[in-house]
Amino acid sequence: MVVRFNIRHDVFERVFFYSFIIPFQVLIVHGDHHKGFSFSVLSNSKKDKIWFAQMLRGVACLIIVYFHYFDLFWSKHDRLIELANVNQTSFSSNLFILDISSFLEGLNINLGAVGVSLFFIISGFVIPFSLANSGKIEFLIKRFFRVLPPYAVGLILTTLTVLIYSRVNNLKFPYTVVDFIANLSLLRDWTGLLTIDGINWTLEMEFKFYFLIAILSIFFGIRSSKALIISSSLLFTSSLLFSFTSDSINVYITQILSVLSNSAIYLTFMMIGICYYNYFKSN
């Protein structure tokens, strides 16, 4: 393995930033929001069966960490530099690990998409357990306070890191207070404002799912196969219809339709998770 770098003096600052922020945010975004599920509500035999969800979550986490460090960091380096607001780095590399990523890309396999999709399916499987043990409003309140505090800590840390680096290196800080509030509220995607950490879109998707599953449980119940089939079909149809939007229409309408189109795809994975939940509960 031969690696050749031509990197400016601040490389260590950048390595520190990526090495610290990415895994910290991955653990917050993809780990904490599943903790509402407790094995205490299950019998011993059910506990043994359901460990597959925990193991699958571990596999998904490893896939995402691999994707960020050994694929995204190199293939989308310019985008990460823009996101972190750091100075441009030039390098050349023939890392063997990149050959693996190129091989998978040739097979149209996107490991990042695979890992995130697994997490969404797991969410669809485990979140109904939390909903079954509380009222609809109580469920949403618990989700809010379980997810938002650790996410807020990660967001503040990320923002401060970018701010300090920008000040030290005489760079313009790219984010505003409005950007920060939008990111903190997890409603940023509806506004079209800048994302600060780049991966909080998954939490934005999770909160959409929380509201969707709460609404389904109120009107139909999540054990209703008809409700799941109809809602999944509507999500799939919406993802197709909303994707054919024109930029010539109102920019705000375009943004809303874009969010609905993208959300419908990932929410469908969560609906698949609910189907696994129903199968698990019936056996």
pLDDT band at 57 (very low <50, low <70, confident <90, very high): confident
End-to-end CA distance of the chain: 51
Residue 88 has pLDDT above 70, yes or no: no
Q: Name beta bridge partners: 4.
A: 92
Q: Tell which residue, 113, 276, 145, 280, has the closest CA to residue 210.
A: 145
Q: What is the pLDDT of residues 218-236, one digit of tens each?
A: 888 888 777 787 887 777 7
Residue 7 scores a pLDDT above 50: no
- Which whole number is the average pLDDT over 143-169? 92
For residue range 60-78, list pLDDT tens digits in order.
888 888 888 777 777 676 7
Q: Phi-psi region for residue 108, left (φ > 0), alpha (ψ -120 to 50) or beta?
A: left
Q: Which residue has the higher pLDDT, 140 or 41?
A: 140
Chain center to CA of 196? 13
Q: How does the average pLDDT of the chain come out, rounded? A: 76
What predicted TM-score, i.e. pTM, was given to this entire model?
0.74
Query: What is the secondary structure of 155-216 as a DSSP string?
Result: HHHHHHHHHHHHHHTT------HHHHHHHHHT-HHHHTPPPSSS-THHHHHHHHHHHHHHHH
pLDDT digits 0-9 by tens, 91-100: 555 666 667 7
pLDDT at 184 (0 to 100): 95
Q: What is the pLDDT of residue 3?
A: 36
